[in-house]
Amino acid sequence: MKENTKLFKALSDPNRLRILKMLQSKSLCVCEITDVLKLATSTVSKHLSILKDGGFILEQKNGKWVNYLINPRPSDPRISSLISTLDFWISDDQLIISDKQKVQKVDRFKVCSR
């Protein structure tokens, strides 16, 4: 039963939902996400590993950065279903809207190394 709750658990944290919604706009590295959420890097990294473990996102190493993106072709159809549901799920939330605006402007060369 643990496996069955894993997907729902991954989606039941507000910051992880924010991350997923941001990644639906654009793939991002850890420090860009950190800059938007205003959390410790280690915290963001942990959230990302939970989303990755659940199969919602993928990582792509690019030099010293690690880019995260929505998994475009999840093996588990339940994940595809949940991801596409999220498309219209919380689009009206003010926090999600402002996150998306920040994501458009974020620049890893300005944001990182501080």
Partner DNA sequence: TTTACATTTCGCCTTTATATGAAATATAAA
Partner DNA sequence: TTTATATTTCATATAAAGGCGAAATGTAAA
Binding site for its own copies (CB under 8 A): 1-2, 4-5, 8-9, 11-14, 17-18, 78, 81, 85, 89-90, 93, 95-96
Site mask for DNA (CB under 7 A), range 94-113, x = bound: --------------x---xx
In sequence order, the 6+-apart residues with CB closer than 8 A to the CB of 101 are none
92: Cα within 13 Å, side-chain hemisphere: 1
How many Å is the maximal CA-CA distance in the chain? 44
* Side-by-side strand order, sheet with 57-62: 28-29, 65-70, 57-62
Of the candidate spans 46-54, 74-82, 84-92, 96-104, the one that interacts with DNA by CB under 7 A turns out to be: 46-54
Chosen from its own copies, DNA, none, partner binding at 41 (C-beta under 5 to 8 Å by type) = DNA
The CB-of-27 to its own copies minimum distance in angstroms stands at 22
Q: Which of 17, 19, 36, 48 contacts DNA by CB under 7 A?
A: 48
Radius of gyration for the alpha carbons in the chain, expressed in angstroms and rounded: 14
